């Protein structure tokens, strides 16, 4: 018994930190979400049961945030990062070496630079006086105040810019593991590029696709700094995804209890995705 305790004792520091600073807040989150805690001017918070959740589902602001989060996730993660990442990985296998190196370096740099710098760079790109409109003017196309007319689309593009490198790397690795004999024999049998992609390559990397989609979605669900730097959730609340809405309710409106309830919902959705992801990766452990 002592021997086994001693053996496992190295786990202790990490477990303590994880319990205190990660499991603790999550547990606290579950408790606070059922109270009416406010930031200021309150003697004591009381237990209000499901009131915060009922309030959330009846709250137009919350529903707006859910819809925007869905739009943001589908546009930037499912469609943008995933498809572009796969396309880049596929193209890289055919392109010449310098082009591969340059493209890889640029796309990865966009991913490595800090979130808030990325937000600032894309703000300058989409801003009314920014580069996108300069390019459009040069092409004699109509310009727009993108961050005002299509804020959620602008932040989605920003997230694609920032996050595609991950999918590209995952798919590069996955494609390099597809045995070449298989693709080549399909080619000999006369299967065109698209058919090979659909019937051979995609089925062979389907586990990577699944995992990548899950991880992208989880990452996208928790984006805050990028949106905050570009639009602060505005104009109005037209780019207010759930994390921004949560922050706004808890700190701008001082409703910690309500903000935490929103956080708990976000956490539950994240946990579901995380569980699916875990199933996909299970054989690893």
**Cis geometry, peptide bond prior to residue 235 (ω within 30 degrees of 0):** yes
Q: Report in angstroms how near the CB of residue 98 gets to another protein at its nearest.
A: 9
Distance (Å, whole) CA 173 – CA 176: 5
Residue whose entry in the numeric block shows the structure tokens 């920003």: 158
Instruction: Give start and end residues of each alpha helix (H) in 142-200.
Output: 146-149, 151-176, 180-188, 193-196
> Cβ–Cβ contacts within 10 Å for residue 231, how many?
23
> Cβ–Cβ contacts within 10 Å for residue 266, how many?
21
Q: Which stretch binds another protein (CB under 8 A): 55-63, 64-72, 148-156, 265-273?
A: 265-273
Q: Which stretch binds another protein (CB under 8 A): 54-62, 64-72, 123-131, 148-156?
A: 123-131
Angle at 210 between CA 209 and CA 213, to 5 degrees: 80
Q: Is 281 in the site for another protein (CB under 8 A)?
A: yes
Q: Report in angstroms how near the CB of residue 215 gets to another protein at its nearest.
A: 7
Q: CB nearer to another protein: give 198 or 251.
A: 251
Site for another protein in 198-217 (CB under 8 A): 205, 207-208, 211-212, 214-215
Question: Strand, helix or coil at 35?
Answer: strand
Site string for another protein, 12-31 (x = CB under 8 A): -xxx-xx-xxx-xxx-xx--
From the list 34, 26, 23, the residue with the least C-alpha distance to 261 is 34
Q: CB nearer to another protein: give 59 or 127.
A: 127
Distance (Å, whole) CA 240 – CA 66: 9
Site for another protein in 46-65 (CB under 8 A): none
Q: Report in angstroms how near the CB of residue 238 gets to another protein at its nearest.
A: 19
Site for another protein in 211-250 (CB under 8 A): 211-212, 214-215, 218-219, 221-225, 228-229, 243, 246-247, 250
Q: CB nearer to another protein: give 56 or 88.
A: 88
The answer to whether 181 touches 101, Cβ cutoff 8 Å, is no
Site string for another protein, 78-117 (x = CB under 8 A): ------x--xxx-xxxxxxx-xxxxxx-xxxxxxxxxxxx
Q: Report in angstroms how near the CB of residue 91 gets to another protein at its nearest.
A: 4
Question: Strand, helix or coil at 47?
Answer: strand
Residue whose entry in the numeric block shows the structure tokens 């869905």: 70
Q: CB nearer to another protein: give 51 or 87.
A: 87
């Amino acid at each position: 018994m002592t021997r086994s305790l001693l053996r496992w004792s190295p786990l202790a520091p990490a477990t303590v930190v994880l319990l205190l600073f990660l499991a603790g807040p999550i547990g606290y989150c579950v408790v606070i979400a059922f109270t009416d805690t406010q930031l200021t001017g309150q003697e004591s918070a009381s237990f209000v049961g499901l009131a915060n959740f009922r309030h959330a589902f009846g709250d137009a602001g919350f529903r707006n945030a859910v819809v925007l989060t869905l739009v943001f996730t589908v546009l930037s993660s499912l469609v943008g990062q995933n498809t572009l990442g796969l396309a880049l990985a596929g193209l890289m296998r055919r392109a010449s070496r310098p082009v591969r190196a340059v493209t890889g370096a640029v796309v990865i740099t966009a991913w490595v630079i800090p979130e808030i710098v990325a937000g600032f760079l894309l703000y300058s790109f989409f801003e009314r006086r920014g580069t996108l409109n300069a390019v459009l003017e040069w092409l004699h196309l109509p310009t727009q105040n993108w961050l005002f007319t299509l804020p959620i689309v602008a932040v989605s593009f920003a997230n694609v810019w920032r996050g595609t490198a991950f999918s590209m790397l995952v798919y590069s690795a996955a494609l390099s593991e597809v045995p070449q004999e298989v693709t080549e024999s399909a080619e000999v049998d006369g299967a065109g590029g698209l058919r090979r992609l659909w019937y051979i390559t995609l089925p062979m990397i389907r586990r990577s696709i699944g995992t990548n989609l899950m991880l992208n979605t989880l990452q996208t669900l928790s984006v805050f700094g990028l949106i905050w730097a570009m639009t602060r959730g505005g104009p109005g609340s037209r780019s207010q995804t759930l994390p921004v809405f949560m922050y706004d309710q808890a700190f701008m409106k001082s409703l910690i209890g309500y903000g935490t309830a929103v956080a708990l919902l976000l956490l539950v959705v994240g946990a579901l995705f995380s569980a699916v992801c875990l199933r996909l990766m299970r054989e690893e452990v």
